[in-house]
Structure 1
Amino acid sequence: MPAGSEYAILSHCWQVPEKGEKEVHFKDIKKFMTMKPKKRDEIRRRDGYRKILDTCRRANADGFHWAWVDTCCINRESSSELSEAINSMFQWYANSQLCYVYLQDVEDALPTERDEEKFPESGGWPKWFTRGWTLQELVAPRTVHFFNRHWSFIGDKEGLADNLKTITRIPRSVLKHGIGFPRPSAAQILSWAADRRTTRVEDIAYSLLGLLGVNMPMLYGEGTKAFQRLQEEIIRRSNDLSIFAWDP
């Protein structure tokens, strides 16, 4: 994508391989045109392929020439590219003209109260609101449009601010105007993440880098030490001692 291009960006929950769901990754896209027809057909049948296709169709309808989807736009086989992407993610979402939030477990409208029967695995709310990475993807973009599983528009961040505040505990001012300067305290930002989960334990820390305004290298395999490094980096840069009020 050329520098300075306007683009739409997708925020979503990754598919769960244990449930037979599959994403389409960078390596799949790179080799797509040269792979055997049988393999291409298998990729086209994946839930992740349909999600990418629907994102591109939506972006095209909204007048964008470019759309960015993390599953297929980051080469996760390159540790350097992955580290750069994670440190840049907040800014990529912030610089987008429009962020699409795809709620794959929402049938119609965004719920206004907890529903344990409808969302039993995610505390009564749609799964997207319980994942670590989607926190910055809600806060960073200026304009966010929400879609249900049928890709029907169900509202934007500004119009849904009261509902989103109830679900996320994020103040309306942040939802409407961004994280701002000065930033909220580290403790306040971490309180928004308290009930969220990530697949890998290190991502609890890595998913907060942009929100907390810090950068640090990725060291997958370090486990809970990632959060300790995050605390040290915040203290080094801002002397915000409220970081110690939260323990993952």
Structure 2
Amino acid sequence: MAAPIKFGVGQSVLRKEDDALIRGKGRYTDDLAPQASLHALVVRSPHAHATFTLDATKARALPGVALILTADDISDLGGLPCLFNFEVDPFTGPPYPILAKGEVRHVGDAIAFVVAETADKARDAIEAIEISWMPLPAVTGVVNAVKQDAPQVWPSHPGNILFDVAIGDKKATDEVFAKAHAVAEISIVNPRVVASFMETRAAICEYDAKRDHLTLTVGSQGSHRLRDILCQNVLNIPVEKMRVICPDVGGGFGT
């Protein structure tokens, strides 16, 4: 019998990262925060679907508040791109703005970005922002969303259907079922999931004015792709203007 290969199944693998992690010496995003950092929080919608008006005048005047951005302030930036490769021609996904303007379409939709000297001062500013919500009809679950009289999320996509993909030979499949002695049917619900890491999602961005260069430290599993998406699709700047650093990540597990 031949000896097992060096890296075959069942062979021990030398792990390089465990020693520091089990001793509490891991370096996560929050461990790298510079002392002089400003802190940013996002104002998000509590409604699944609503129109709204927003006035941040009083919040901007609070002590310690450095910046409050709304949709009108970032009209020169791109939206959040959908970069999956669907076999649909053409793929016409609706826009997904960084900050919603006038209407939100899901709970947690971002409407304002608040920057202050401390996280507590940012929270105070959020509470001072005057927001008037006008809730709209909404449904929960895909089955309800595609019903005939369901409230529409995007006017450009009637029936709340973005795309419909058929896989396989429909004619041949129908013929097989037509000749079958018995047919069993089952309804399988695939729940929506959220990729929630053990580490709270955080990001630290440092701007070098002399070089006109950004350094982003973030708990991510793909630094190059993240840099390219941010630069090319959102910020509209050359990729050479940003470096993304990924320290230890608090648990991704295939998200």
Structure number with higher helix proportion: 1
Structure number with higher strand proportion: 2
Q: Same fold (TM over 0.5)?
A: no
Bin the TM-score by the shorter chain.
under 0.3
Q: If the length of structure 1 is used for normalisation, what is the TM-score?
A: 0.24
Rg comparison, structure with higher value? 2
Q: If the length of structure 2 is used for normalisation, what is the TM-score?
A: 0.24
Between the two structures, name the one with larger relative contact order (CA 8 Å, sep ≥ 6): 2
